[in-house]
Amino acid sequence: MRFLRVWTNLYRNLESGWIDLDAEEVFLVGENGQGKTNLLEALYALCYGSSFRTNTLRELARHGERSFKLVGIYGDDEGMEHSLELEFKESKRTMSLDGKIVRDRKELIYNIPCIVFSHDDIAFVRGEPESRRYFFDQTMSMYDPLFFDDLRRYRAVLRQRNLSIKEGRSELLGIYDEQLAHHGIAIQGERTRTVARFNEIFPALYKEISQSDIEVEIDYIPSWKNCATEEEVVEHLSGHRERDRIMATTTSGIHRDRFVVSSQGQSFDQSGSTGQLRLASLVLRSAQMAFYEQMAGKKPVILVDDVLLELDHTRRERFLANLNPYSQAFFTFLPEEHYSASLQEANALLYTVSEGRFARGQG
């Protein structure tokens, strides 16, 4: 599965038109601010209907414009071609797959799997707990529609429960507690299983790439750690209603679970150097690739956005050598960067990017 070509119109700073992408590896070389990351963002937006850089689609329109359109043509594992379209117009997002309107973005998630490596990934190691919850929820949602549904329904019930607490309407809390427990305990169980599997991949991969004896792993700390059944969760929620009322919110639940990258029982963001934390964030994404292939039996498209520059040459080579197989990869580089020798030998597309224009070859 790979993108064959993409068409952009009024999108960011990219020149409107088609860009050929039919290769296993695509290199985008250029100075900062020329449009390399914008192309990766366009591909991500076609995969998921959203951006990995902003929550506001309007920001994807060219400066001074209020609309944009993206079209992506990709080939599936059977060699069939498909089209994805994303249009933002009059403050409304419209997506279609093979000419059919996509009503729910859930339809896109299992269509063309995509994983992005970016500078912001370091938040998965040393950022707020919400960042790590997002990472693992994304990891599970990529292959498990039931988890995605439970997560969506849990969030809907949570919003309703919080509103009832704020408005002092306690008569509905019993119903909301049962619904929250039903979806939440399923999510807690899947998170527990996922972290156990993830820890079969992540620690060994970090040691191999770092060539160190540092032991790192993921600790999962559920908010409902003493609850194993829906009934126990309902009892817990009922017993903490006064605390919820005082705080004007639901103070326990899977929305307050913690995932911690740890080393020898200590949070790695306290013991690791900046370089080690950055490497750990890259390895998390690599582990996500390997985990996804194990669970879904498919290889993802990967978008590697200027993150290799922070690795020395030796670690960069080890990182690339240990990347799980992908169906297609996009790499961005600055002109002065040294590519991996293994990548240079590949049958890849190379574009020089300047002011939103893509020129084949070194140029």
CB-based contact 37:96 (threshold 8 Å): no
Do 286 and 336 share a domain, yes or no?
Answer: no
CATH number at 147 reads: 1.20.1050.90
Instruction: Express each pLDDT in 178-203 by its tens digit.
Output: 999 999 999 999 999 999 999 999 99
- For residue 242 the two structure tokens come to 């006064």
The reported pLDDT for the residue numbered 77 is 84
Burial class (CB in 10 A: 0-12, 13-18, 19+), 347: exposed
Do 328 and 190 share a domain, yes or no?
Answer: no
From CA 190, how far away is CA 73, in angstroms rounded? 34
Do 101 and 44 share a domain, yes or no?
Answer: yes
- For residue 228 the two structure tokens come to 């194993």
From CA 1, how far away is CA 164, in angstroms rounded? 46
Closest CA to 314 of 285, 338, 347, 332: 338
Do 125 and 255 share a domain, yes or no?
Answer: yes
Q: Which of 280, 296, 312 is the last residue of a domain?
A: 296
Burial class (CB in 10 A: 0-12, 13-18, 19+), 352: middle
Do 177 and 276 share a domain, yes or no?
Answer: yes
The reported pLDDT for the residue numbered 24 is 92
Do 148 and 222 share a domain, yes or no?
Answer: yes
pTM given for the model: 0.92
Our CA dihedral for 222, 53, 315, 195, rounded to 10 degrees, sits at 20
**Packing angle between helix 129-141 and helix 274-296, nearest 10 degrees?**
20
Do 156 and 181 share a domain, yes or no?
Answer: yes
- When mean pLDDT is compared over 110-119, 169-178, 329-338, the highest value belongs to 169-178
The reported pLDDT for the residue numbered 201 is 96
Q: Which of 296, 317, 351 is the last residue of a domain?
A: 296
What's the mean pLDDT when you consider all of the chain? Answer: 92
Q: What is the end-to-end Cα distance of the chain in Å, rounded?
A: 29
Domain assignment of residue 150, given as a range? 121-296
Do 304 and 290 share a domain, yes or no?
Answer: no
Do 216 and 271 share a domain, yes or no?
Answer: yes
The reported pLDDT for the residue numbered 339 is 61
Instruction: Express each pLDDT in 205-215 by its tens digit.
Output: 999 999 988 99
Does the pLDDT of residue 363 top 60, yes or no?
Answer: no
* 338 or 115, greater pLDDT: 115
Computed on alpha carbons and rounded to an integer, the radius of gyration of the chain in Å comes to: 22
E strand or H helix that includes residue 207: helix 202-210
Instruction: Express each pLDDT in 338-358 by its tens digit.
Output: 665 555 556 789 999 999 999
From CA 351, how far away is CA 349, in angstroms rounded? 7
* Percentage of residues in the chain having pLDDT higher than 70: 97
* Percentage of residues in the chain having pLDDT higher than 90: 79
Do 49 and 157 share a domain, yes or no?
Answer: no
- For residue 32 the two structure tokens come to 């900062």
Q: Which of 238, 262, 296 is the last residue of a domain?
A: 296
Do 70 and 173 share a domain, yes or no?
Answer: no
Q: How confident is the model at residue 106 (pLDDT cuts 50, 70, 90)?
A: confident
Domains in the chain, number: 2
Instruction: Express each pLDDT in 287-342 by its tens digit.
Output: 999 999 999 999 999 999 988 877 888 888 888 888 888 999 999 988 877 665 55
- For residue 324 the two structure tokens come to 């799980």
CB-based contact 182:190 (threshold 8 Å): no
Does the pLDDT of residue 58 top 60, yes or no?
Answer: yes
Do 206 and 347 share a domain, yes or no?
Answer: no
CATH number at 4 reads: 3.40.50.300
What is the arithmetic mean of pLDDT over 1-21? 96
